[in-house]
Amino acid sequence: MTMESRLFPTGWKPSPLLVRILSAFVLLAIVIGAIYIGIYGAYALVIVLAGLALWEFRNLSEGMGSRAPSWLLFPLGAFFAFSGTVLKQVDVNLVLALTLVGGLAAFLFVPGRRQGLGRWAMGLAGALYIGMPFNYYLVLYSSKSHGMVWALFIIFAVVANDAAALLVGSRIGRRPFFPAISPRKTLEGAVAGVVGAVIVMFVGVSFIIGLRPIHAIAIGILVGVSAQIGDLVESQMKRIAEVKDSSNLIPGHGGVLDRLDSILFPPILVYFYVTLFHLLQ
């Protein structure tokens, strides 16, 4: 008997939970590694993740009633993702005006003009939904005041939120939390998720960045609540489209959008909170 056969008996298959855990660690390691490389690593990460998420959204949009046009969704999503960094010299109002006039006018000529308004709206919505969160991650990451810490700890807090919500919800969860959208989520799990996010943000904001604990608690609550809202929003999209996952790209997890749903909204709220209280100076 070889060493390999002793370690992996014939017919052995990893459990779905093991596949899920290993996939999560690999994905998190890639994200952390790209962020540590520097700004170009962060740009590359955004291009890959946003591109895959936009592709999955395009497929979901068809099930939601109006297929987002690729010629509008991808360029506009890329612009929004880099609108505060690489493309910050391009006027957002100009792009939106061209999207309004040119985008709607295009449906006078392209196939599918009977559904033109719905397809245009779906393309714009998808570009905003996926592109803008990445923009705020990059803006925070590029800030001179602990930029990498802000970006990483938002992600860590979301991971803590998801893990705590799953652990507590599966063990002691009793009260349904938005059962019409996600029947397995519980109020106990949701509260535990917010607590997990607050704990992680307390470490990052108070001990590493050095801000007052009240800011750490407030930001942790914003991250925890917005992460769960993001998860519910994507769950609702999948219910409307009548699919289980956005794709099957990630073993044990479904699609990229299934993993990104919780991290999309937090950077937006964190950015406006820290700018409101001048915490990036």
pLDDT (tens digit, 9 = 90+) per residue, 36-88? 999 999 999 999 999 999 999 999 999 999 999 999 999 999 999 999 999 99
**How confident is residue 4, by pLDDT bands cut at 50, 70 and 90?**
very low
Q: What is the pLDDT of residue 21?
A: 73
**How confident is residue 12, by pLDDT bands cut at 50, 70 and 90?**
low
Helix extents (H) in the chain: 3-7, 16-37, 39-63, 70-81, 92-106, 116-142, 147-172, 187-201, 213-241, 256-260, 266-276
| Average pLDDT for 257-272 | 96
Angstrom CA distances, 55 to 23, 45, 144, 218, 243, stand at 20, 15, 33, 34, 15
Higher-pLDDT residue of 270 and 115 is 270
Cα angle, residue 130 at apex, residues 124 and 132 outer, rounded to 5°: 85
Q: What is the pLDDT of residue 141?
A: 97
With b meaning 16 or more CB within 10 Å and e meaning fewer, what string describes 1-16? Answer: eeeeeeeeeeeeeeee
Q: What is the pLDDT of residue 145?
A: 84
Q: Is the pLDDT confidence value at 183 over 60?
A: yes
The rounded Cα 212 to chain-centroid distance in angstroms is 27
Token code pair at residue 165: 């919500």
Q: What is the pLDDT of residue 177?
A: 85
Q: What is the pLDDT of residue 17?
A: 60
Q: Is the pLDDT confidence value at 188 over 90?
A: yes
Specify the residue for token string 């962020």: 35
pLDDT more than 70, % of the chain: 93
Answer whether 0.75 is exceeded by the pTM. Answer: yes
**How confident is residue 184, by pLDDT bands cut at 50, 70 and 90?**
confident
Question: How far is Cα 252 from Cα 248, in angstroms, rounded to an integer?
Answer: 8
